[in-house]
Chain A
Amino acid sequence: KQEVTQIPAALSVPEGENLVLNCSFTDSAIYNLQWFRQDPGKGLTSLLLIQSSQREQTSGRLNASLDKSSGRSTLYIAASQPGDSATYLCAVGLSGNTGKLIFGQGTTLQVKP
Chain B
Amino acid sequence: GAGVSQSPSNKVTEKGKDVELRCDPISGHTALYWYRQSLGQGLEFLIYFQGNSAPDKSGLPSDRFSAERTGGSVSTLTIQRTQQEDSAVYLCASSLAAGGPQHFGDGTRLSIL
* A-to-B contact residues, CB < 8 Å: 31-32, 34, 36, 41-46, 49, 89, 91, 93, 97-106
Contacts and interface: CB of A to CB of B under 8 A. Distances in A.
A98 B55 contact: yes
Contact of A99 (B4, B48, B104, B106): B48
A89 B56 contact: no
A105 B42 contact: yes
A97 B33 CA distance: 13
A99 B105 contact: no
Interface string B74-96: 00000000000000000101010
Interface string B1-33: 000100000000000000000000000000101
Contact of A49 (B31, B98, B101): B101
21 contacts: A34-B102, A42-B106, A43-B4, A44-B93, A44-B104, A46-B102, A46-B104, A49-B101, A89-B43, A93-B99, A98-B55, A98-B98, A99-B31, A99-B98, A99-B100, A100-B33, A101-B33, A101-B102, A103-B35, A103-B42, A106-B42
Ranked nearest first, the 9 interchain pairs of A and B with the lowest CB-CB distance are A43-B104, A103-B43, A99-B98, A44-B104, A43-B106, A46-B101, A99-B99, A105-B42, A97-B99
Interface string B35-49: 100000011110010
Interface of B is mostly: strand
A90 B98 CA distance: 18
A31 B31 CA distance: 16
Nearest to B94: A99
Given A43-B4, A105-B42, A100 B101 contact: no
A43 B102 CA distance: 11
Contact of A43 (B56, B91, B95): B91
A36 B100 CA distance: 14
A102 B106 contact: no
Nearest to A31: B99
Contacts of B44: 103
A102 B105 CA distance: 18
